[in-house]
Structure 1
Amino acid sequence: MEELIKEKAKTVEKLKLEIGKVIVGQDYMVDRILVGIFTGGHVLLEGVPGLAKSLTVSTISKVLGTEFNRIQFTPDLLPADVIGTRMYNQPTGEFITKKGPIFSNIILADEINRAPAKVQSALLEAMQEKQVTIGEESYQLDRPFLVLATQNPLEQEGTYPLPEAQQDRFMLKLNVDYPKKDEEKIIIDRLTGEDRIEDTKLEALVSKKDIFEIRELVRKVYVSDELKNYVLDIVFKSREKSDYIECGASPRASINLILASKAIAFLNGRNYVIPDDVKEIAYDVLRHRLILTYEAEAEDLKVEDIIENILGSVNIP
């Protein structure tokens, strides 16, 4: 088991090198997207425009050798534009199903919060059940199936907040930040030089079969009962009555925190989870699941501050 994980972890390092041919810096974003891919968890990426969120998702899909579709969310988008619709075929007199772009392996839901709630909700069944209903029939989606959504900060004009039920279906929410100065210099050189970045040849290093094998390995990563209780203590602490938390994390948080911690351990070449794995990924699992009170907002407290307080108040095994 340990040797197998180390061998697959080397493959992941090759993946990162291949992704690095196009994406400069943003190691945090790449690592967390790989956590989602290797656990089957959807990922929400938030950041201002121009931080290579969409480019990172499309690049990763190429090196994974999976089918990829990009859906640009706009205020006039309809649910049928995402999942598909039933159309009348006049020559035959029958209705036929036209499948939407959701039928793919990796879906980039670009600027998901620029579409109204009814369109965002069209993804709910697909994200949870891995199927969609068109008319009266349900259709299974291709496996692996993963939604990688980008959104702009809510303060920006023309954005709609995601419903809590939809946010909860994302395993991770990432806050994507600006690149460092030396990284941005490399980006400038790549995008203004003679070699066009779109001409970069990327090699598909893994297959769908490899992804399923890695997922099985990740699930076999050992988590002690003490660490399971540690995760439960963190989640239950978020549900305690507080001046700053209106609504705590759901049971999905406990499940996803365990799974994501296993993936972090796997990426580090280990077949067991340590407390640092849980602490490292806790912010990404919890930040979109905690609803803060007006008191927290009045005191200018961010959700990361609340998570830090929760982690600081729970005993580490």
Structure 2
Amino acid sequence: MLQAVPTTAELHTLVQTTNRMRAGIEQVVTGRSELVRTTVAVLLAEGHLLLEDVPGVGKTTLAKALARTIDCSVGRIQFTPDLLPSDLTGVNIFRSQTHEFEFRPGPLFAHVVIGDEINRASPKTQSALLECMQEAQATVDGQTYPLPRPFLVVATQNPVEMEGTYPLPEAQRDRFMARLTVGYPSIESELDMLDLQETSDPLDGMQPVTDAEQVARLIATARRLYAAPSVKRYIVELVTATREDHALRLGASPRAAIQLLRAAKSLAAMSGRDHVLPDDVQQLAEAVLAHRLLPSTESRLSGRTTSDTVREIVERIPLPTSGTGIPRERRATG
């Protein structure tokens, strides 16, 4: 049975809410509207976000600003080399009064988890996130505990060339829906930033514009957008091309195709459309695919990045020419 696409009223609510979220974040993270737009799209796609750049460009500020637009629980983790997996998931504590163990949840038990400098933790600690990010649950001492929904990890990392960092394992990177680079602001944006933060922190004045329950409804609304068979085939062709490209020794996984579709639906919903266009896929292809890929030795020595390869693949694969609209009969429940 096919679900009906979102109604006009549902899409209007989604657009209005996400516009307020973006406006609130852009009061703090100035001059990066496309970055903020993609960040909110990842949230609506119920994915996880990896922010990568040099220190001091606003990665943690963006993560905090996103969390403060939602009235929900927030967990904060400062990753360090001595951090243990139990510091993330929680521990069982023995209560002498009751002679029983009591589970004390860690910071992962929150709707939005901000992980600062994730690649400064050891691979063993990083791996504690794998189950949480994929299945929204944590297993401690053989007992499985569900995490709250929606569940979003926003992690920051410094470039791997910097001192004291560990590269994220391939399985870890594959669980992040998108990787975004913050970049340096323009001169005008940096001047605005100095004015905003000269006497106070703009984060202190942020107020939530929605709550966890409404975000869950928005996620469900975005998930119901229509994607034509030709658009799905286009996504699969892009992902398949990464597995066949000689510049790469590891291509994108089937999980990447699923997450690219979900992210494209979210982007389309934020534009007020009830169907996905190939343009939505193109806009997100680099952010969703590049961090999952491993370059070949020749490609790495020549200085060619995986982002370069994804851009070339997007230019090479032809766009669907027809059949991307939404048929009338699709609007009714089948």
Shift of 1:177: 0.7
Match of 2:99 in 1: 93
2:24 counterpart (18, 21, 24): 18
Match of 1:276 in 2: 279
Q: Say if 2:214 is the partner of 1:219.
A: no
For 2:313, the equivalent position in structure 1 comes to 310
Q: TM-score, normalised by structure 1?
A: 0.95
Structure 1 unaligned regions, length at least 5:
none
Structure 1 partner of 2:246 = 243
Deviates more, 1:84-93 or 1:161-170: 84-93
Aligned pairs for 1:21-32 within 5 A: 21-32=27-38
Q: Equivalents in 1 of 2:203, 2:106: separation in Å?
A: 29
SS in 2 for 1:170: coil
Tell me, yes or no, if structure 1 residue 155 matches structure 2 residue 161: yes
Query: Matches of 1:27 and 1:82 in 2, distance apart?
Result: 32
Show the 5 A alignment for 1:149-188.
Answer: 149-188=155-194
1:46-125 matches, cutoff 5 A = 46-125=52-131
Indicate the percent of aligned positions where both proteins have the same amino acid: 38
Structure 2 CA distance for aligned equivalents of residues 226 and 89 of structure 1? 59
**Shift of residue 224 of structure 1?**
0.8
- Equivalent residue number for residue 324 of structure 2: none
Q: Deviation of residue 263 (structure 1)?
A: 0.8
Output one character per residue of 1:11-66: Cα deviation in whole Å (capped at 9) or x when no partner.
21122222233221222332222112111101111011111111121122111111
Deviation at residue 3 of structure 1 after TM alignment? 4.4
By how many angstroms is 1:199 displaced?
7.0
- TM-score by length of structure 2 reads 0.90
Report if aligned partners of 2:28, 2:203 keep a CA contact under 8 Å in 1. no
- Distance of 1:257 and 1:100 partners within structure 2: 30
1:73 Cα deviation after fit: 0.1
In structure 1, what is the Cα distance between the partners aligned to 2:189 and 2:50? 23
Any unmatched runs of 5+ in structure 2? 1-6, 321-334
User: C-alpha root-mean-square deviation of aligned residues, in Å?
Assistant: 1.4
Q: Is the 8 A contact 1:6 1:270 kept in 2?
A: no
Task: Deviation per CA, 1:80-130: give whole Å up to 9, x if none.
Answer: 111111223334433222211111110001100000000000011111111
Q: Which residue number corresponds to residue 231 of structure 1?
A: 235
Offset from partner CA, 1:230-283 (integer Å, 9 cap, x none): 11111111111x431101100011101111111111111211111111100000
Measure the CA separation in 2 of the matches of 1:283 and 1:92: 54
Runs of at least 4 residues off by over 6 Å = none
Quote the Cα distance in structure 1 between the aligned partners of 2:63 and 2:149.
Answer: 17
Q: What is the rounded CA distance, in whole Å, between the counterparts of 1:200 and 1:141 in structure 2?
A: 28
Q: Which residue is 1:295 aligned to?
A: 298
- State how far apart, in whole Å, the 2-side matches of 1:227 and 1:198 are: 41
CA contact (8 A) 1:80 1:100 kept: yes
- Larger mean CA deviation between 107-116 and 213-222 belongs to 213-222
